[in-house]
Amino acid sequence: MAVAVIFLDQLTKAIALSSLQSYQRVPVLGDWLGWYLTFNDSAAFSLGFGATWFFTIVSTLAVLALIWFTPRMQTVSWAISSGLLLGGVTGNLIDRLTKSPGFPNGQVVDFIQIPLNFPIFNVADIFISGMMVWVVIRVFRGEKIGKPISKKPVSS
């Protein structure tokens, strides 16, 4: 799962870099969806502006932790969720390690724009945010991360 997300993320970023001009909106579905190539040196939702080196360290630690924990997940659904998250984090980490201005301060390529002044994002961000929301929902439902749902005894 992670390899598929990384491939899709890096492919779409390469297409965006080769076909879009920076900071010029290209409408796709009117005002609802557009391409807008920009470069991000912060975290999700533009948090931590200018601290790219810090996010490089945090992303590296997250990737290492996910590589360690994903094979140890006790259910297929948790392993898939973990793999999708791993792919998203790795996709943006690749940018931080390889894009301008250079290691470890590379800027993440963002190009998907939706209305309402929502931050511009990329495919990796979709998987990171989506999987984190999914994990929170599952935990609030009573599931333990990586473990099957425990069967509660039926009362008479």
User: How buried is residue 29: exposed, middle or buried, by Cβ count under 10 Å (0-12/13-18/19+)?
Assistant: exposed
Catalytic residues, by residue number, are: 110, 125
Contacts of 31 (CB under 8 A, 6+ apart): 115
The total of other beta-carbon atoms located within 10 Å of residue 97's CB is 15
User: How buried is residue 76: exposed, middle or buried, by Cβ count under 10 Å (0-12/13-18/19+)?
Assistant: exposed
